[in-house]
Chains A and B, each alone.
Chain A
Amino acid sequence: MQDSELDALIDAGTASLGIPIEPAWRQAIRANLAVTLRFAALVEAHPLPDEAEPAPVFRA
Protein backbone atom coordinates (compact mmCIF):
# COMPACT_ATOMS: atom_id res chain seq x y z
CA MET A 1 0.00 0.00 0.00
CA GLN A 2 1.05 3.58 -0.63
CA ASP A 3 1.72 5.89 2.31
CA SER A 4 -1.42 7.83 1.47
CA GLU A 5 -3.51 4.65 1.63
CA LEU A 6 -1.93 3.67 4.94
CA ASP A 7 -2.62 7.16 6.26
CA ALA A 8 -6.24 6.86 5.20
CA LEU A 9 -6.50 3.57 7.08
CA ILE A 10 -4.84 5.11 10.14
CA ASP A 11 -7.20 8.09 10.09
CA ALA A 12 -10.35 6.02 9.62
CA GLY A 13 -9.30 3.28 12.04
CA THR A 14 -8.17 5.50 14.90
CA ALA A 15 -11.28 7.64 14.49
CA SER A 16 -13.60 4.64 14.58
CA LEU A 17 -11.81 3.20 17.63
CA GLY A 18 -11.49 6.54 19.40
CA ILE A 19 -7.70 6.43 19.66
CA PRO A 20 -6.23 9.95 19.57
CA ILE A 21 -2.80 10.04 17.91
CA GLU A 22 -0.17 12.75 17.90
CA PRO A 23 1.30 13.79 14.53
CA ALA A 24 4.75 12.69 15.73
CA TRP A 25 3.55 9.09 16.13
CA ARG A 26 2.24 8.71 12.60
CA GLN A 27 5.43 7.68 10.87
CA ALA A 28 6.11 4.80 13.27
CA ILE A 29 2.47 3.68 13.24
CA ARG A 30 2.52 3.70 9.43
CA ALA A 31 5.75 1.66 9.34
CA ASN A 32 4.36 -0.87 11.80
CA LEU A 33 1.07 -1.08 9.93
CA ALA A 34 2.92 -1.74 6.67
CA VAL A 35 4.89 -4.58 8.27
CA THR A 36 1.77 -6.05 9.85
CA LEU A 37 -0.14 -5.96 6.56
CA ARG A 38 2.80 -7.57 4.79
CA PHE A 39 2.89 -10.42 7.32
CA ALA A 40 -0.91 -10.79 7.09
CA ALA A 41 -0.68 -11.01 3.30
CA LEU A 42 1.95 -13.74 3.61
CA VAL A 43 -0.38 -15.72 5.86
CA GLU A 44 -3.39 -15.10 3.64
CA ALA A 45 -1.50 -16.35 0.59
CA HIS A 46 -1.49 -19.84 2.10
CA PRO A 47 -4.50 -21.69 0.66
CA LEU A 48 -6.89 -23.12 3.22
CA PRO A 49 -10.13 -25.04 2.68
CA ASP A 50 -13.42 -23.37 3.60
CA GLU A 51 -13.78 -25.97 6.33
CA ALA A 52 -10.55 -24.99 8.08
CA GLU A 53 -11.25 -24.34 11.75
CA PRO A 54 -9.43 -21.54 13.59
CA ALA A 55 -7.15 -22.54 16.41
CA PRO A 56 -8.05 -20.71 19.64
CA VAL A 57 -8.54 -22.93 22.63
CA PHE A 58 -11.98 -22.56 24.16
CA ARG A 59 -13.85 -25.03 26.31
CA ALA A 60 -17.40 -24.43 27.49
Chain B
Amino acid sequence: MTAQSSLAAIEATLADIEARNPRLNAFTAVTADRARARASALDASRAAGRAPLPLEGMPFAVKNLVDIAGLPTLAGSRINRTRPPAAEDATLVTRLEAAGAILVGALNMGEYAYDFTGENVHDGASRNPHDTTRMTGGSSGGSGAAVGAALVPLALGSDTNGSIRVPASFCGVFGLKPTFGRLSRAGSFPFVASLDHLGPLTRTVDDLARAYDAMQGPDPADPVCVDRPAEPVTDLLARGTEGLRIATLGGYFREGATQQALDAVASVASALGASRVMELPEPARARAAAFVITTTEGAALHLDRLRSRAGDFDPAVRDRLIAGALLPAALVTRAQKFRRWYREAVLTLFDDVDILLAPATPCVAPLIGETELDLGGEVVPLRPNIGIYTQPISFIGLPVAAVPVRGPTLPIGVQLIAAPWREDLVLRAAWRLQNSGFQAV
Protein backbone atom coordinates (compact mmCIF):
# COMPACT_ATOMS: atom_id res chain seq x y z
CA MET B 1 0.00 0.00 0.00
CA THR B 2 1.13 3.55 -0.59
CA ALA B 3 1.30 6.08 2.24
CA GLN B 4 -1.94 7.70 1.06
CA SER B 5 -3.98 4.61 0.55
CA SER B 6 -5.60 4.04 3.96
CA LEU B 7 -6.91 7.57 4.23
CA ALA B 8 -8.05 7.57 0.62
CA ALA B 9 -9.80 4.25 1.10
CA ILE B 10 -11.50 5.47 4.28
CA GLU B 11 -12.69 8.65 2.56
CA ALA B 12 -14.24 6.49 -0.15
CA THR B 13 -15.86 4.24 2.46
CA LEU B 14 -17.28 7.19 4.39
CA ALA B 15 -18.68 8.72 1.19
CA ASP B 16 -20.25 5.40 0.24
CA ILE B 17 -21.85 5.05 3.68
CA GLU B 18 -23.22 8.59 3.46
CA ALA B 19 -24.66 7.94 0.03
CA ARG B 20 -26.16 4.47 0.51
CA ASN B 21 -26.88 4.07 4.21
CA PRO B 22 -30.14 6.08 4.14
CA ARG B 23 -31.60 3.31 1.98
CA LEU B 24 -30.25 0.46 4.13
CA ASN B 25 -30.40 1.92 7.65
CA ALA B 26 -27.44 -0.22 8.61
CA PHE B 27 -25.48 2.37 10.62
CA THR B 28 -26.64 4.09 13.80
CA ALA B 29 -23.38 6.04 14.19
CA VAL B 30 -20.49 6.84 11.86
CA THR B 31 -17.14 7.49 13.53
CA ALA B 32 -15.72 9.54 10.68
CA ASP B 33 -13.23 11.66 12.62
CA ARG B 34 -11.86 8.68 14.47
CA ALA B 35 -11.55 6.70 11.22
CA ARG B 36 -9.71 9.52 9.45
CA ALA B 37 -7.32 9.93 12.36
CA ARG B 38 -6.64 6.21 12.51
CA ALA B 39 -6.10 6.01 8.75
CA SER B 40 -3.72 8.96 8.80
CA ALA B 41 -1.75 7.38 11.64
CA LEU B 42 -1.49 4.10 9.74
CA ASP B 43 -0.35 5.89 6.60
CA ALA B 44 2.26 7.84 8.55
CA SER B 45 3.72 4.78 10.22
CA ARG B 46 3.77 2.90 6.92
CA ALA B 47 5.62 5.80 5.31
CA ALA B 48 8.12 5.59 8.16
CA GLY B 49 8.88 2.00 7.25
CA ARG B 50 6.50 -0.10 9.35
CA ALA B 51 5.70 -3.55 7.95
CA PRO B 52 2.12 -4.03 6.78
CA LEU B 53 -0.39 -5.33 9.33
CA PRO B 54 -2.71 -8.29 8.64
CA LEU B 55 -5.80 -6.05 8.32
CA GLU B 56 -3.96 -2.93 7.14
CA GLY B 57 -6.53 -0.21 6.39
CA MET B 58 -9.56 -2.52 6.40
CA PRO B 59 -12.70 -0.57 7.35
CA PHE B 60 -15.01 -2.29 9.82
CA ALA B 61 -18.11 -1.54 11.85
CA VAL B 62 -19.64 -3.14 14.93
CA LYS B 63 -23.11 -4.06 16.10
CA ASN B 64 -24.13 -1.31 18.49
CA LEU B 65 -23.91 -3.55 21.54
CA VAL B 66 -20.11 -3.45 21.18
CA ASP B 67 -18.44 -0.64 23.15
CA ILE B 68 -16.95 2.23 21.19
CA ALA B 69 -15.14 4.75 23.39
CA GLY B 70 -17.11 7.98 23.55
CA LEU B 71 -20.47 6.57 22.41
CA PRO B 72 -23.31 5.14 24.50
CA THR B 73 -23.65 1.41 23.84
CA LEU B 74 -27.24 1.26 22.61
CA ALA B 75 -27.76 -2.48 22.21
CA GLY B 76 -30.62 -1.50 19.96
CA SER B 77 -32.59 0.04 22.81
CA ARG B 78 -34.08 3.40 23.72
CA ILE B 79 -33.26 2.85 27.37
CA ASN B 80 -29.48 2.63 26.87
CA ARG B 81 -29.39 6.04 25.16
CA THR B 82 -29.21 7.65 28.59
CA ARG B 83 -26.22 5.54 29.66
CA PRO B 84 -22.87 7.32 29.86
CA PRO B 85 -20.63 6.90 26.81
CA ALA B 86 -18.32 3.88 26.88
CA ALA B 87 -15.03 4.77 28.54
CA GLU B 88 -13.04 2.47 26.28
CA ASP B 89 -13.36 0.20 23.27
CA ALA B 90 -14.42 -3.44 23.55
CA THR B 91 -11.56 -5.93 23.54
CA LEU B 92 -12.33 -7.10 19.99
CA VAL B 93 -12.34 -3.55 18.63
CA THR B 94 -8.94 -2.96 20.22
CA ARG B 95 -7.59 -6.18 18.72
CA LEU B 96 -8.92 -5.48 15.23
CA GLU B 97 -7.43 -1.99 15.29
CA ALA B 98 -4.13 -3.37 16.55
CA ALA B 99 -4.14 -5.55 13.42
CA GLY B 100 -4.59 -2.49 11.22
CA ALA B 101 -8.38 -2.35 10.77
CA ILE B 102 -10.17 0.99 10.96
CA LEU B 103 -13.46 1.40 12.83
CA VAL B 104 -16.01 3.44 10.87
CA GLY B 105 -19.16 3.11 12.96
CA ALA B 106 -21.86 1.32 14.92
CA LEU B 107 -24.58 -0.82 13.38
CA ASN B 108 -28.33 -1.21 13.83
CA MET B 109 -29.65 -4.28 15.66
CA GLY B 110 -32.77 -5.78 17.19
CA GLU B 111 -33.46 -4.49 20.69
CA TYR B 112 -31.18 -6.08 23.28
CA ALA B 113 -30.36 -8.80 20.70
CA TYR B 114 -33.67 -10.59 21.40
CA ASP B 115 -34.55 -10.73 17.72
CA PHE B 116 -34.18 -12.70 14.48
CA THR B 117 -35.65 -10.07 12.09
CA GLY B 118 -33.35 -7.02 12.04
CA GLU B 119 -36.36 -4.82 12.79
CA ASN B 120 -36.05 -2.13 15.45
CA VAL B 121 -38.92 0.02 16.75
CA HIS B 122 -36.57 2.84 17.80
CA ASP B 123 -34.15 3.08 14.88
CA GLY B 124 -36.26 1.50 12.15
CA ALA B 125 -35.55 -1.80 10.43
CA SER B 126 -32.20 -2.40 8.80
CA ARG B 127 -32.94 -3.28 5.16
CA ASN B 128 -31.76 -6.18 3.07
CA PRO B 129 -29.37 -4.93 0.37
CA HIS B 130 -30.77 -7.45 -2.13
CA ASP B 131 -34.34 -6.19 -1.68
CA THR B 132 -34.91 -3.32 0.72
CA THR B 133 -38.50 -4.41 1.39
CA ARG B 134 -37.08 -7.51 3.08
CA MET B 135 -35.56 -8.27 6.45
CA THR B 136 -31.84 -8.38 7.06
CA GLY B 137 -32.29 -11.00 9.73
CA GLY B 138 -31.34 -10.41 13.31
CA SER B 139 -30.32 -9.52 15.64
CA SER B 140 -27.10 -8.41 13.91
CA GLY B 141 -29.19 -6.90 11.10
CA GLY B 142 -27.05 -3.83 10.49
CA SER B 143 -23.98 -6.07 10.31
CA GLY B 144 -25.63 -8.20 7.61
CA ALA B 145 -26.79 -5.14 5.68
CA ALA B 146 -23.45 -3.30 5.86
CA VAL B 147 -21.42 -6.29 4.66
CA GLY B 148 -24.09 -7.49 2.22
CA ALA B 149 -24.08 -4.07 0.56
CA ALA B 150 -20.26 -3.96 0.67
CA LEU B 151 -20.33 -0.72 2.68
CA VAL B 152 -17.61 -2.39 4.76
CA PRO B 153 -15.77 -5.68 4.18
CA LEU B 154 -15.98 -6.64 7.88
CA ALA B 155 -18.54 -6.25 10.65
CA LEU B 156 -18.81 -7.65 14.14
CA GLY B 157 -22.03 -9.25 15.28
CA SER B 158 -23.17 -11.25 18.26
CA ASP B 159 -24.84 -14.65 18.20
CA THR B 160 -26.81 -16.04 21.16
CA ASN B 161 -29.22 -18.23 19.20
CA GLY B 162 -28.31 -17.45 15.59
CA SER B 163 -27.85 -13.69 15.36
CA ILE B 164 -24.72 -13.87 13.18
CA ARG B 165 -25.81 -16.84 11.08
CA VAL B 166 -29.33 -15.58 10.34
CA PRO B 167 -28.31 -12.17 8.90
CA ALA B 168 -25.43 -13.84 7.06
CA SER B 169 -28.01 -16.14 5.47
CA PHE B 170 -30.52 -13.44 4.57
CA CYS B 171 -27.89 -10.97 3.32
CA GLY B 172 -25.73 -13.45 1.41
CA VAL B 173 -22.41 -13.12 3.27
CA PHE B 174 -20.04 -15.28 5.30
CA GLY B 175 -20.31 -15.38 9.07
CA LEU B 176 -18.37 -17.10 11.83
CA LYS B 177 -19.83 -18.01 15.19
CA PRO B 178 -16.76 -19.32 16.99
CA THR B 179 -16.72 -21.86 19.82
CA PHE B 180 -18.36 -20.54 23.00
CA GLY B 181 -15.58 -18.92 25.02
CA ARG B 182 -13.15 -18.53 22.12
CA LEU B 183 -13.49 -14.77 21.55
CA SER B 184 -13.70 -12.22 24.31
CA ARG B 185 -17.06 -10.61 24.99
CA ALA B 186 -15.54 -7.94 27.23
CA GLY B 187 -16.99 -4.54 26.48
CA SER B 188 -20.15 -5.81 24.84
CA PHE B 189 -23.64 -5.39 26.23
CA PRO B 190 -24.75 -8.89 27.29
CA PHE B 191 -27.96 -10.79 26.65
CA VAL B 192 -27.69 -14.43 27.81
CA ALA B 193 -24.50 -15.14 29.74
CA SER B 194 -24.72 -18.89 29.04
CA LEU B 195 -25.03 -18.49 25.27
CA ASP B 196 -23.58 -15.16 24.07
CA HIS B 197 -20.86 -15.21 21.40
CA LEU B 198 -19.25 -12.46 19.30
CA GLY B 199 -17.95 -13.02 15.78
CA PRO B 200 -17.27 -11.56 12.34
CA LEU B 201 -19.30 -11.25 9.12
CA THR B 202 -17.36 -10.71 5.88
CA ARG B 203 -17.56 -11.01 2.09
CA THR B 204 -14.68 -13.50 1.78
CA VAL B 205 -13.42 -16.45 3.81
CA ASP B 206 -9.93 -14.98 3.74
CA ASP B 207 -11.18 -11.85 5.52
CA LEU B 208 -13.20 -14.00 7.91
CA ALA B 209 -10.11 -15.99 8.89
CA ARG B 210 -7.83 -12.95 9.14
CA ALA B 211 -10.30 -11.06 11.32
CA TYR B 212 -10.87 -14.14 13.48
CA ASP B 213 -7.13 -14.65 13.91
CA ALA B 214 -6.67 -11.01 14.92
CA MET B 215 -9.33 -11.35 17.64
CA GLN B 216 -8.26 -14.63 19.25
CA GLY B 217 -6.55 -15.01 22.60
CA PRO B 218 -7.37 -15.05 26.31
CA ASP B 219 -8.91 -12.01 27.99
CA PRO B 220 -9.17 -11.82 31.77
CA ALA B 221 -11.89 -9.18 31.33
CA ASP B 222 -14.32 -11.88 30.09
CA PRO B 223 -14.70 -14.73 32.62
CA VAL B 224 -16.03 -17.04 29.89
CA CYS B 225 -13.15 -16.44 27.47
CA VAL B 226 -10.84 -19.43 27.76
CA ASP B 227 -7.13 -19.34 28.51
CA ARG B 228 -6.45 -21.23 25.31
CA PRO B 229 -3.70 -19.66 23.20
CA ALA B 230 -4.53 -18.29 19.78
CA GLU B 231 -4.75 -20.96 17.08
CA PRO B 232 -4.41 -19.04 13.80
CA VAL B 233 -6.24 -20.48 10.80
CA THR B 234 -5.42 -18.13 7.93
CA ASP B 235 -2.39 -20.12 6.82
CA LEU B 236 -4.38 -23.38 6.98
CA LEU B 237 -7.19 -22.39 4.60
CA ALA B 238 -5.51 -23.81 1.50
CA ARG B 239 -5.68 -27.29 3.00
CA GLY B 240 -9.36 -27.21 2.05
CA THR B 241 -11.32 -30.32 2.89
CA GLU B 242 -8.57 -32.82 2.28
CA GLY B 243 -9.06 -35.73 4.65
CA LEU B 244 -12.22 -34.32 6.22
CA ARG B 245 -15.33 -36.43 6.83
CA ILE B 246 -18.44 -34.42 6.01
CA ALA B 247 -22.11 -35.29 6.48
CA THR B 248 -25.48 -33.56 6.17
CA LEU B 249 -27.82 -33.31 9.14
CA GLY B 250 -31.18 -34.95 8.44
CA GLY B 251 -34.42 -35.29 10.39
CA TYR B 252 -35.15 -32.10 12.34
CA PHE B 253 -32.84 -30.12 10.05
CA ARG B 254 -34.99 -30.90 7.01
CA GLU B 255 -38.43 -30.60 8.57
CA GLY B 256 -40.06 -27.31 7.74
CA ALA B 257 -37.30 -26.12 5.44
CA THR B 258 -38.28 -24.48 2.17
CA GLN B 259 -37.12 -26.11 -1.03
CA GLN B 260 -34.51 -23.38 -1.49
CA ALA B 261 -33.00 -24.14 1.92
CA LEU B 262 -32.86 -27.86 1.11
CA ASP B 263 -31.40 -27.18 -2.33
CA ALA B 264 -28.73 -24.95 -0.81
CA VAL B 265 -27.61 -27.67 1.59
CA ALA B 266 -27.65 -30.23 -1.23
CA SER B 267 -25.50 -28.02 -3.46
CA VAL B 268 -22.95 -27.50 -0.67
CA ALA B 269 -22.93 -31.22 0.12
CA SER B 270 -22.41 -32.01 -3.54
CA ALA B 271 -19.54 -29.53 -3.85
CA LEU B 272 -17.88 -31.07 -0.80
CA GLY B 273 -18.56 -34.64 -1.89
CA ALA B 274 -20.68 -35.33 1.22
CA SER B 275 -23.26 -38.05 0.72
CA ARG B 276 -23.72 -39.27 4.28
CA VAL B 277 -26.67 -38.15 6.43
CA MET B 278 -26.48 -38.01 10.22
CA GLU B 279 -28.93 -36.95 12.92
CA LEU B 280 -28.38 -34.93 16.07
CA PRO B 281 -29.89 -36.41 19.22
CA GLU B 282 -32.91 -34.44 20.52
CA PRO B 283 -32.49 -31.20 18.53
CA ALA B 284 -36.07 -30.04 19.18
CA ARG B 285 -35.54 -30.38 22.91
CA ALA B 286 -32.21 -28.57 22.59
CA ARG B 287 -33.94 -25.70 20.88
CA ALA B 288 -36.61 -25.66 23.61
CA ALA B 289 -33.94 -25.60 26.31
CA ALA B 290 -32.11 -22.76 24.52
CA PHE B 291 -35.41 -20.86 24.43
CA VAL B 292 -35.92 -21.38 28.18
CA ILE B 293 -32.39 -20.33 29.14
CA THR B 294 -32.56 -17.33 26.81
CA THR B 295 -35.80 -15.91 28.09
CA THR B 296 -34.98 -16.44 31.77
CA GLU B 297 -31.37 -15.21 31.71
CA GLY B 298 -32.50 -12.28 29.57
CA ALA B 299 -35.20 -11.51 32.12
CA ALA B 300 -32.68 -11.65 34.96
CA LEU B 301 -30.41 -9.23 33.08
CA HIS B 302 -33.20 -6.72 32.50
CA LEU B 303 -35.13 -7.11 35.76
CA ASP B 304 -34.45 -3.60 37.05
CA ARG B 305 -35.28 -2.06 33.68
CA LEU B 306 -38.52 -4.07 33.56
CA ARG B 307 -39.41 -2.65 36.98
CA SER B 308 -38.60 0.95 36.23
CA ARG B 309 -38.83 1.50 32.46
CA ALA B 310 -40.96 -1.29 31.03
CA GLY B 311 -42.79 1.17 28.80
CA ASP B 312 -39.56 2.15 27.05
CA PHE B 313 -38.84 -1.37 25.72
CA ASP B 314 -39.86 -2.66 22.32
CA PRO B 315 -43.18 -4.26 23.37
CA ALA B 316 -42.28 -7.54 21.67
CA VAL B 317 -39.07 -7.76 23.69
CA ARG B 318 -40.65 -6.59 26.94
CA ASP B 319 -43.50 -9.09 26.87
CA ARG B 320 -41.13 -12.03 26.29
CA LEU B 321 -38.79 -10.87 29.04
CA ILE B 322 -41.63 -10.48 31.56
CA ALA B 323 -42.82 -13.98 30.70
CA GLY B 324 -39.27 -15.22 31.16
CA ALA B 325 -39.08 -13.63 34.60
CA LEU B 326 -42.06 -15.70 35.70
CA LEU B 327 -40.71 -19.14 34.85
CA PRO B 328 -40.01 -21.30 37.93
CA ALA B 329 -36.26 -21.62 38.55
CA ALA B 330 -36.41 -25.42 38.73
CA LEU B 331 -37.29 -25.55 35.04
CA VAL B 332 -34.30 -23.39 34.14
CA THR B 333 -31.94 -25.67 36.03
CA ARG B 334 -33.45 -28.63 34.18
CA ALA B 335 -32.64 -26.89 30.91
CA GLN B 336 -29.01 -26.41 32.00
CA LYS B 337 -28.78 -30.05 33.06
CA PHE B 338 -30.22 -31.12 29.70
CA ARG B 339 -27.63 -28.91 28.01
CA ARG B 340 -24.84 -30.95 29.55
CA TRP B 341 -26.47 -34.22 28.49
CA TYR B 342 -27.03 -32.94 24.96
CA ARG B 343 -23.45 -31.69 24.66
CA GLU B 344 -22.04 -35.09 25.53
CA ALA B 345 -24.45 -36.86 23.19
CA VAL B 346 -23.62 -34.55 20.27
CA LEU B 347 -19.86 -34.70 20.83
CA THR B 348 -19.86 -38.45 20.31
CA LEU B 349 -20.96 -37.81 16.69
CA PHE B 350 -17.64 -36.13 16.02
CA ASP B 351 -15.87 -39.44 16.48
CA ASP B 352 -17.20 -40.28 13.02
CA VAL B 353 -17.42 -36.93 11.27
CA ASP B 354 -15.54 -33.64 11.08
CA ILE B 355 -18.12 -31.28 9.58
CA LEU B 356 -21.92 -31.33 9.67
CA LEU B 357 -24.05 -29.38 7.18
CA ALA B 358 -27.43 -27.80 7.94
CA PRO B 359 -29.53 -24.90 6.70
CA ALA B 360 -28.86 -21.59 8.45
CA THR B 361 -32.48 -20.49 8.05
CA PRO B 362 -35.62 -22.32 6.92
CA CYS B 363 -36.36 -19.65 4.31
CA VAL B 364 -34.93 -16.64 2.48
CA ALA B 365 -35.44 -13.14 3.91
CA PRO B 366 -39.14 -12.49 4.65
CA LEU B 367 -40.76 -9.14 3.97
CA ILE B 368 -40.23 -6.53 6.68
CA GLY B 369 -43.26 -6.55 8.98
CA GLU B 370 -44.20 -10.14 8.24
CA THR B 371 -45.29 -11.97 11.40
CA GLU B 372 -45.98 -15.54 10.27
CA LEU B 373 -43.88 -18.24 8.66
CA ASP B 374 -45.01 -21.34 6.76
CA LEU B 375 -42.93 -24.20 8.18
CA GLY B 376 -43.63 -27.26 6.07
CA GLY B 377 -47.33 -26.42 5.78
CA GLU B 378 -47.75 -25.28 9.37
CA VAL B 379 -48.14 -21.53 9.88
CA VAL B 380 -46.15 -20.46 12.95
CA PRO B 381 -45.07 -17.12 14.45
CA LEU B 382 -42.17 -15.82 12.39
CA ARG B 383 -39.93 -14.20 15.02
CA PRO B 384 -38.98 -17.21 17.12
CA ASN B 385 -38.96 -19.74 14.29
CA ILE B 386 -36.36 -18.15 12.03
CA GLY B 387 -33.74 -19.65 14.34
CA ILE B 388 -34.93 -23.25 14.49
CA TYR B 389 -31.79 -24.58 12.78
CA THR B 390 -29.28 -22.31 14.50
CA GLN B 391 -30.43 -22.70 18.11
CA PRO B 392 -29.61 -26.40 18.62
CA ILE B 393 -26.02 -25.68 17.50
CA SER B 394 -25.13 -22.55 19.46
CA PHE B 395 -26.86 -24.08 22.51
CA ILE B 396 -23.66 -26.10 23.10
CA GLY B 397 -21.28 -23.56 21.62
CA LEU B 398 -20.15 -25.48 18.52
CA PRO B 399 -18.18 -23.42 15.97
CA VAL B 400 -20.10 -22.65 12.79
CA ALA B 401 -19.29 -20.93 9.52
CA ALA B 402 -22.30 -19.67 7.58
CA VAL B 403 -21.72 -19.88 3.82
CA PRO B 404 -23.87 -17.97 1.30
CA VAL B 405 -25.65 -19.81 -1.50
CA ARG B 406 -27.04 -17.80 -4.39
CA GLY B 407 -30.74 -18.34 -5.16
CA PRO B 408 -33.09 -17.41 -7.98
CA THR B 409 -33.78 -14.05 -6.35
CA LEU B 410 -32.44 -14.04 -2.82
CA PRO B 411 -29.53 -15.85 -1.13
CA ILE B 412 -29.70 -18.30 1.76
CA GLY B 413 -27.01 -19.63 4.07
CA VAL B 414 -25.71 -23.07 4.99
CA GLN B 415 -24.11 -23.86 8.34
CA LEU B 416 -20.80 -25.74 8.44
CA ILE B 417 -20.55 -27.12 11.99
CA ALA B 418 -17.57 -28.70 13.75
CA ALA B 419 -16.54 -29.96 17.18
CA PRO B 420 -15.55 -27.36 19.80
CA TRP B 421 -12.31 -25.49 19.04
CA ARG B 422 -12.22 -26.69 15.42
CA GLU B 423 -12.91 -23.36 13.72
CA ASP B 424 -10.04 -24.32 11.43
CA LEU B 425 -12.11 -27.09 9.89
CA VAL B 426 -15.22 -25.01 9.13
CA LEU B 427 -13.09 -22.20 7.72
CA ARG B 428 -11.12 -24.59 5.54
CA ALA B 429 -14.34 -26.05 4.17
CA ALA B 430 -15.79 -22.56 3.65
CA TRP B 431 -12.63 -21.58 1.76
CA ARG B 432 -12.96 -24.62 -0.47
CA LEU B 433 -16.60 -23.70 -1.16
CA GLN B 434 -15.67 -20.10 -1.91
CA ASN B 435 -13.23 -21.38 -4.52
CA SER B 436 -16.00 -23.56 -5.96
CA GLY B 437 -18.24 -20.54 -6.56
CA PHE B 438 -20.01 -20.10 -3.24
CA GLN B 439 -19.30 -16.41 -2.83
CA ALA B 440 -20.91 -13.42 -1.15
CA VAL B 441 -23.94 -12.32 -3.11
Q: What residues of chain A have their CB less than 8 Å away from a CB belonging to chain B?
A: 9-10, 13-14, 17-22, 25, 28-29, 32-33, 35-37, 39-40, 42-44, 46, 48, 52-59
B residues neighboring A (CB under 8 Å): 180-181, 193-194, 223-224, 282, 284-285, 288-289, 291-292, 295, 303, 306-307, 310-311, 315-316, 318-320, 322-327, 331-341, 343, 384, 396
CB distance from B287 to the nearest CB of A (A): 8
User: Distance in Å from the Cβ of A9 to the closest Cβ of chain B?
Assistant: 6
Alpha-carbon distance A60/B335, docked complex (angstroms) = 23
Interface of A is mostly: helix
A10 touches B326 (CB 8 A): yes
B341 and A48 contacting across the interface, CB-CB below 8 Å:
yes
Q: Report B-chain residues with C-beta under 8 Å of the C-beta of A48.
A: 334, 337-338, 341
B303 touches A17 (CB 8 A): yes
In this complex, what residue of A is CB-closest to B296? A36
Chain B residue contacts of A56, Cβ below 8 A: 193-194, 336
In the complex with contacts A32-B323, A42-B288, A43-B285, A20-B310 CB distance below 8 A = yes
Known contacts A48-B337, A52-B337, A54-B336; is A19 also within 8 Å of B327 by CB? no
Q: Which A residue's beta carbon lies closest to that of B223?
A: A59
Sample 5 A-B pairs with CB under 8 A, ordered by A number: A18-B307, A19-B307, A40-B292, A44-B331, A55-B194
Closest 7 CB pairs of A and B: A32-B323, A54-B336, A13-B326, A39-B288, A55-B339, A28-B319, A40-B331
| A-side contacts of B337, CB under 8 Å | 48, 52-55
Min distance, Cβ B56 to any Cβ of chain A, angstroms: 35
Question: Are A57 and B334 in contact, CB atoms less than 8 angstroms apart?
Answer: no
**A53 and B340 contacting across the interface, CB-CB below 8 Å:** yes
A-side contacts of B303, CB under 8 Å: 17, 19
Residues of B within 8 A of A13 (CB): 325-326
| New contact pairs (7) apart from A18-B307, A54-B339, CB-CB < 8 Å | A25-B318, A39-B289, A40-B292, A43-B292, A48-B337, A56-B193, A56-B336
B193, B316, B331: most-surrounded residue (chain A CB, <10 A): B331
The answer to whether B319 touches A29, judged by C-beta atoms less than 8 angstroms apart, is yes
Rounded to whole Å, the gap between the CB of A18 and the closest CB of chain B is 5
Find the B residue at minimum CB distance from A11: B326
Q: Give min CB distance, A20 to chain B, whole Å.
A: 7
Task: Enumerate chain A residues within 8 angstroms of B291, measured Cβ to Cβ.
Answer: 35-36, 39
Find chain B residues with CB under 8 A from A44 CB: 331, 334
Residues of A within 8 A of B180 (CB): 57
* Smallest Cβ-Cβ distance to B319: which chain A residue: A28
Chain A: minimal CB distance from B425 (Å): 22
